[in-house]
Amino acid sequence: MTRTWWKEAVIYQIYPRSFMDSNGDGIGDLPGIISRLDYLAHLGVDVLWLSPIFQSPNDDNGYDISDYEAIMAEFGTMADFERLLAEAHKRGLKVLLDIVVNHSSDEHPWFRQSRSSKDNPLRDFYFWQPAPPNNWKSFFGGSAWQHDPATGAYYLHLFSRKQPDLNWENPRLRREIYRMMRFWLDKGVDGFRLDVIPLISKRTDWPDAYEDDFLRTVYEIYANGPRVHEYLQEMHREVFARYDMMALGEGIGVTPANCLDYVGEDRRELHVLYHFDHMFLNFGAGGRFDPVPWKLTDFKAVFRRWDEAIGEEGWINIVLDNHDFPRMVSRFGNDGPWREASAKLLATLLLTMRGTPCIYQGSELGMTNARWHRLDELRDIEARNAWAEWQANGRNDVQAFLEAASVNGRDNARTPMQWTDAPHAGFTTGMPWIKVNENYPEVNARKAMADADSVFHYYRHLMALRKAHPTLIYGSYRPLREDDEQLFAYERRDADGRYLVLLNFGEAEYPVEGLVPAEHRWLIGNYAMPTTADEPLRPWEARVLELDA
Ligand code: ISL
Ligand code: CA
């Protein structure tokens, strides 16, 4: 297997709107990020992934781009971006931009022209139909086809009405996109995170979707379209192959069966992608606002299946949360009495699995889901639309909806970064665009940095350990006790070393007899070093041991 920087790196995802506000307007911005680069360098991450920073009317917080080559005015200027890039590079941090090319904003000049008349030269930069050709639904609720009065036709939008899907069948559109990508790479950015990239090729025979199974529709109808690999190979040739860069795909709809088609080293498509199988585990039939319990055995099986599928031939990301999902400690850990222990346990998983880890901002502090008490606290278009849909279906129980949003809503991960115990967690001197999590006096960066036992310092130690023991990066993955509902255990191994990771997903002690060989060295853990090899795992204990080869 080839060794590359993007396999060894740890990525840190910044959601710029909620990271740091420099001018008191309540919205995070690029100068705010610059002011925190020393913090990020101290944490010890290698690559920053910035959620979209391009000009946008913010129907979906920047995932609706109206100019791919301009900076969102609220975030700053191109000069600010160039300074951010230079200052990041000075500290050895690389920068990935989040490029959204499955769709644009309806305010993009391309769409303005496209919608203006049927014979406009840009008409088929988007998908127009005289009437909806199928029953497709949008990710954000309602039909995926929107009537447009200017020409009396319908356009496709898999996300919001303000996010019309781009028509990749059009070679001129593809050329424009590759040119735009080179524009950023020529400026010195180190790669891209490619939003919903498996969706760019559409089934233009327009088959019907499964009425009652949206996720199945995503996997089988929206994603992995007939020309997706042709487009990605072209993109690789026209863009990726010309730079030393990282192309990270958001792998929505990709499965273990087809993942190597995207990231197999011989394919010359993407370098790496992240998948969703464990992220959808607690989605019920009604999606994220219909949460259901998840089981550790199912969670572990996802990691095993993906590792087996990727093998030595490709590479994936390891992701436990991001701006689209609840906070990992609230979801997979325990955000009550065991918040710090379980946040560290999840950090251990994230940083000792095979794959390039993505840390989402604030997880290094053990930030938790917010509680949503009122509808008007919610900001996410997905949540607002979902509530409208509940009502349209005669469900008017506000409390039940807020309960579901508190478990699974995307706003949970979008509350401002908690820097200090000052008002608004030190994120802004003004009024934050979304409420701050109430626990900021307890959970904040200043406090964590001053406490040698904090989640923050545990992340630092783990990242240093990962660099010092490359087996934790490249070594094979062998799961143990796969049927156990409390223990997540595995070995990482190659010619250079052998490691055992033990993770107790629960409050009860877990006996380790039969798991730990007598000869071993304790490397790191979220409790004091055990005094005997057989000491049971304590509540939410994580232990990483080095074994004899
Ligand atoms: O959050 C989801 C819907 O329930 C996810 O399925 C999400 O829509 C999917 O992962 C795609 O996400 C990406 O594209 C969206 C944007 O809203 C998300 O923030 C982005 O990560 C549209 O651009
Ligand atoms: Ca600001």
Strand ranges (DSSP E) for 410-511?
A: 476-480, 487-494, 497-504
Ligand 1 closest atom vs CA 102: 23
- Ligand at minimal distance from the CA of 30 is 2
Q: State the Cα–Cα distance between residues 281 and 238, nearest whole angstrom.
A: 37
Q: What mean pLDDT do residues 43-47 have?
A: 98
Task: Map tokens 């609720």 to a residue.
Answer: 141
Q: Give Cα separations from 539 to 57, 113, 341, 448, 458 (angstroms).
A: 46, 60, 8, 21, 17
Tell me the CA–centroid distance for residue 424 and ligand 2, in Å.
14
Q: What mean pLDDT do residues 28-46 have?
A: 98
Which phi and psi (to 5°) does residue 425 adopt? 60, 20
pLDDT of residue 533: 87
5-102+170-370+448-461 classified as CATH 3.10.450.50: no
Q: State the Cα–Cα distance between residues 141 and 2, nearest whole angstrom.
A: 43
pLDDT tens track for 236-261 = 999 999 999 999 999 999 999 999 99
**Where in the sequence of the chain do the CATH 2.60.40.1180 domains occur?**
475-547
Q: What mean pLDDT do residues 511-515 have?
A: 94
pLDDT of residue 286: 87
Probe target for ligand 1 pocket from 18, 196, 215, with the most ligand atoms within 8 Å of CB = 196
398 confidence band (pLDDT: 50, 70, 90): very high
- Tell me if 475 sits within 8 A of 449, measured CB to CB: no
Residue 371 buriedness (CB in 10 A; 0-12 / 13-18 / 19+) = middle
**Where in the sequence of the chain do the CATH 3.20.20.80 domains occur?**
5-102+170-370+448-461
CATH architecture of 475-547: Sandwich (2.60)
Helix (H, G, I), strand (E, B) or coil at 110: helix
Nearest CA to ligand 1 atom 8: 139
Tell me the CA–centroid distance for residue 28 and ligand 2, in Å.
5
pLDDT above 90 covers what percent of the chain? 98
Length of the chain: 549
- Ligand at minimal distance from the CA of 28 is 2
For residue 222, the 8-state DSSP code is I
Tell me the CA–centroid distance for residue 142 and ligand 1, in Å.
16
Tell me the CA–centroid distance for residue 416 and ligand 2, in Å.
12
Nearest CA to ligand 1 atom 3: 139
pLDDT above 70 covers what percent of the chain? 100
Q: State the Cα–Cα distance between residues 319 and 190, nearest whole angstrom.
A: 20
For residue 199, the 8-state DSSP code is G
Tell me the CA–centroid distance for residue 135 and ligand 1, in Å.
20
pLDDT of residue 285: 87
Ligand 1 closest atom vs CA 325: 1
pLDDT tens track for 104-137 = 999 999 999 999 999 999 999 999 999 999 999 9
- Ligand at minimal distance from the CA of 322 is 1
Ligand 1 closest atom vs CA 381: 17
pLDDT tens track for 52-74 = 999 999 999 999 999 999 999 99
pLDDT of residue 1: 83
Question: Which tokens go with 112?
Answer: 């303005």
Mean pLDDT of the chain: 97
Pocket of ligand 1 (CB under 6 A): 60, 63, 100, 139, 159, 195-196, 250, 252, 288, 323-324, 382, 410
Q: State the Cα–Cα distance between residues 490 and 480, nearest whole angstrom.
A: 5
Residue 513 buriedness (CB in 10 A; 0-12 / 13-18 / 19+) = exposed
426 or 532, higher pLDDT: 426
Tell me the CA–centroid distance for residue 73 and ligand 2, in Å.
10
Nearest CA to ligand 1 atom 20: 195
Q: State the Cα–Cα distance between residues 74 and 57, nearest whole angstrom.
A: 10
402 confidence band (pLDDT: 50, 70, 90): very high
**Of all helices (H) and strands (E), which one includes residue 474?**
helix 471-474
pLDDT at 330 over 90: yes
User: Which residue from 302, 285, 232 is spatially nearest to 261, judged by alpha carbons?
Assistant: 232
Active site residues: 195, 250
pLDDT of residue 549: 84
Question: Taking the model in full, what pTM does it have?
Answer: 0.98
- Ligand at minimal distance from the CA of 163 is 1
Nearest CA to ligand 1 atom 1: 324
210 confidence band (pLDDT: 50, 70, 90): very high
CATH of domain 109-156: 3.90.400.10
